[in-house]
Amino acid sequence: MKKVTVVGLGYVGLPTAISAAQSGYKVFGIDIDHNKINNLKMGISYLENISHSTIKDVLAKNTLEVANKISASKSSEIYLICVPTPLSMNRKPDLSFLQNATMEVGKNLKHGDLVIVESTVEPGTIRNTVLPLLEKYSKLDQENFYLAFSPERIDPGNESWQLENVPKLVSGIDNKSLEKTLDFYRKFINNLVVVASLEIAETAKLLENSFRLLNISFINELSIYCNKIGIEINDVISAASTKPYGFMPFYPSVGVGGHCIPVDPIYLVNAANKVGINLKMLGIADEINRSLPEYFIGRAYERIGNLKDKKILVLGVSYKPNISDIRESAVDGLITALKREGAKVFWHDDLVKVWNGERSTPLGSGFDLAIIATPHSYLDLKKLGKTPILNSRKSI
């Protein structure tokens, strides 16, 4: 039984660790978050798509162990790095989690071990940042270990596309690294797609989510136009979607959220700037996306006039419907903008429950305005009584 260490047990690392454990590997899951580790040890899942019973099962079979640090006494042959790569306060790539994880893996690396990075990075990061750190802290030359990049493709809440059936890109720093990585993933992923170089795989991941940012920002801008001329954007989208080729529907919102779409394109913009290229379209799309809270402030003014001291209920604060994931949620910007206008802002989300030190407000009447930000399917709008409703998913 090969031993695998998965560093980072979030939305990517935990499903991967469990799938590996279920497919015959002995897995050690590592995360610096003590609450996550304590929950997992008690068999409690903190992800909606993983049940408590699944956690308890792999723990009982002793195919998964979890801890806050990599233990030298439990040496693995394979290391997966699945840590966050967010943006810094000044909206630049923050590789601190990746660098720290890489250093810890390097300290435990042995001759013949395989390191796979799943964290999203800009082109050149695996070769120019991860590799030197592994060599430095392992005191091994690259010829003595294997290195690969296989970007995650996790969509929380998507019941159709799960870890095992989403095609997975795989690249290696050399052919032997690629072969070993393919051998590892074949145990629990159905469709592996070989990519010719690390840099192609790195760039492909950024392209996937830049494509989505561009199209979502465009549809949001078109929704503003449709509002101005008095037609419903969703009717326009439905009509255009009848075309059987060359069109893919995207839908309006208060802005893009989640761990990928608002972040990954900025990694691509940053990488392009380093070589003197200005990716103007991504810059404009990012600007449109971040300006949407102000647009909805204007819509709120149109609906109820001055917002000062008005009681406004925001419905749904997660970044997309029917999940509790609040990472990079665009709703945060909307609430901040409403408070800046002097509104008394409350929010309701029975999936999130607690957010930014506040608790979800029950659905009910007595508000001056309700704004549907994230339309969870459970929402019963009848409970709002005669409260005016502004639906961010519609243009009118």
Q: Which residues are catalytic?
A: 260
Select from 3, 26, 29 the least CA-distant residue to 14.
29
Q: Domain residues of the chain, as ranges?
A: 3-196, 235-391
Q: Is the CATH number 3.40.50.150 carried by domain 3-196?
A: no
Nearest 10 degrees: Cα torsion 74, 22, 9, 64: -30
* Fold classification of 235-391 (topology level): Rossmann fold (3.40.50)
Same fold, 3-196 and 235-391: yes
Quickly list DSSP for 111-126.
TT-EEEE-S---TTHI
User: What is the model's pTM?
Assistant: 0.94
pLDDT at 73: 65
pLDDT at 192: 98
Which of 90-99's residues contact partners 24+ apart within 8 Å by CB, and which partners? 91/266, 92/266, 92/270, 93/121, 93/122, 93/266, 93/267, 93/270, 95/121, 95/125, 95/129, 97/8, 98/125, 98/129, 98/130, 99/129, 99/133
Could you say which residues of the chain have pLDDT below 50?
A: none
pLDDT at 107: 96
